[in-house]
Chains A and B, each alone.
Chain A
Amino acid sequence: MGKFNLSNKYKAIVIGGSAGSFQPVTKLLSKIPKSFPLPIFLCLHRLKHVRHGFVEALSIKSNKPVVEPADKESIKRGNVYLAPANYHMGIELGNSVSLTTDDLVNNSRPSIDVMFETAAYAYRDKLIGILLSGANKDGALGMAKIKYHGGTTVIQDPEESMINTMPSAAQNYTKVDYCLVTEEIIKFMLELNSIYKD
């Protein structure tokens, strides 16, 4: 049994972050093997009017393809999905991604809460939510939703986070399962990977 006591019940991983999250995310993507078996959904706060460049920047060090999905695109296990600029990204029942242009949530579009809540509903207890460094509390409510549905929650250790507002807010909203520094989050992901391989 590994350090994190994980199982192979999980179907997806959602990761949210804002200011200060680019570095941990790229590090994570560079360490997750190409064969990692679950889809990963990324919602990172970004400039609304800049459609290009972000997916490319994340792809440079990633072993897995990073894509901005089209609306209602079917989810493939091996992909990393990045919420596009100026759209909310949600998970539909029936294994597809949906994009919407409705109101800003927590002053953000894409909003982490929107992605986490819809994913929590779609994947129930088979979801892992990871919330990284950020300067507002978007994602905190979403983490509570993931817990409510029986999923597993991880925050980047506020001590390590460049800006700790976001992971700390999650701690205030819910009892977070794991509080980890980036290196440990990587180990967490690798342990998960090894369970699916066995």
Chain B
Amino acid sequence: MEEIEIADLRKLTQLIKDKYDYDFTDYAMSSFKRRVKRVIELYKFKSIDSLVDKLRTTPTFFNEFVSEITVNVTEMFRDPTFWKALRDQILPNILLNHNQISIWHAGCSSGEEVFSMAILLKEMDILDRVNIVATDIDDAIIAKAKKGAISIKNMELNGKNYERFEGKYTIEQYFTEQNSTVIVNPELINKVSFRKHDLVNGAVFSKFDLVLCRNVMIYFNQTLQNDVLYKLHESLFRYGYLSIGSKESLIWCDVANKFIVVNNEEKIYKKIKD
């Protein structure tokens, strides 16, 4: 297949912006290009022009496109040391001053991070004191997350991560097997509010004690990362915590001086200024 050029991608993002009010203009080019190429191959389009035409003429295709273009690869307890830090350091600190806690998973994908959080909170015996909001740009993936279903083949990795996290029990006890999937026990997630929200175009909608936005902004360029970090900052109570991916950084962004580093290894920051 021929190379997709930046000009082609510009045509695509412009159409989407004009017609569907989604803005992929400031997505990081190299990964966005790979995702577009993937969609072209998956649907056997002849070229990127045919994909653009399809989107121009077939609005019903757009949701599918969004599902395929967004990255939904995730694992439970990714970076077990991060989850240990939450359990042993961050949450106990929040609990010193709060009876009720609010947590936002920004870009929750198929929910693995939310399930991990629910298990962690359950094991800390504070699940009923926590309000969890989980959002994503992709309707289909939110529907999947709500169901709490995970493919059985992913459970080996999830289980290993859980062991490294040194959870109290075994991961299996939180799931019921159904055909080729496992379903997370409903009492863990029935209070979670799963909603659609677009970090790029969406407004700030609430304030939280802890925001997790891990390995989401890596798909954006620096301009967009900077804009989104303003929103994440605004979505935190003062002295609330922000967690980003282990290889992400906020040192260069505008709101950097409104945070202090609490755990540099796990990239956990605390908001100290409004």
Contact = CB atoms under 8 A, between A and B. Distances in A.
A63 B191 CA distance: 55
Contacts of B217: 71
Interface stretch (B17-25, B29-37, B45-53, B129-137): B29-37
A49 to B, nearest CB: 7
Interface stretch (B54-62, B94-102, B167-175, B242-250): B242-250
A100 B160 CA distance: 22
A48 to B, nearest CB: 8
Contacts of A86: 78
Given A90-B31, A93-B6, A100 B247 contact: no
A71 B247 contact: yes
Contacts of B79: 51
Contact of B225 (A51, A72, A91): A72
B143 interface: no
Contact of A98 (B30, B78, B161, B246): B30
Contacts of B245: 71, 99, 101
B30 A72 contact: no
Contacts of A125: none
A21 interface: no
Interface in A67-118: 68-73, 84, 86-88, 90-93, 96, 98-103, 114, 117-118
A98 B160 contact: no
A86 B79 CA distance: 10
A84 B34 contact: no
B71 A51 contact: no
A58 B34 CA distance: 30
B73 A92 contact: no
Interface string B237-261: 0000000011111000000000000
Contacts of A99: 218, 245, 247-248
Contacts of A148: 3
A22 interface: no
A121 interface: yes
B249 A71 contact: yes
Nearest to A84: B247
| A contact residues, range | 20 to 34
A72 B221 contact: yes
B246 A101 contact: no
A101 B218 contact: yes
Contacts of B31: 88, 90, 98, 100, 102
Given A49-B160, A87-B247, A100-B219, A121 B30 contact: yes
A70 B247 contact: yes
Given A70-B247, A70-B249, A102 B30 contact: no
B183 interface: no
Interface string A43-76: 0000001010000000000000000111111000
Contacts of A70: 247-249
A93 B5 CA distance: 12
A90 B30 contact: yes
A92 B28 contact: yes
Which among B80, B160, B249 has the greatest number of chain A C-beta atoms within 10 A?
B249
B147 to A, nearest CB: 21
19 contacts: A69-B247, A70-B247, A72-B218, A72-B221, A72-B249, A90-B34, A91-B30, A92-B221, A98-B30, A99-B218, A99-B245, A99-B247, A100-B215, A100-B219, A101-B73, A102-B71, A102-B73, A103-B71, A121-B30
Given A71-B249, A72-B221, 13 more contacts: A49-B164, A68-B247, A69-B247, A70-B249, A71-B217, A71-B247, A72-B222, A90-B31, A102-B35, A118-B30, A118-B34, A121-B30, A122-B30
Closest 8 CB pairs of A and B: A70-B249, A90-B30, A102-B71, A118-B30, A71-B218, A101-B215, A100-B31, A98-B28
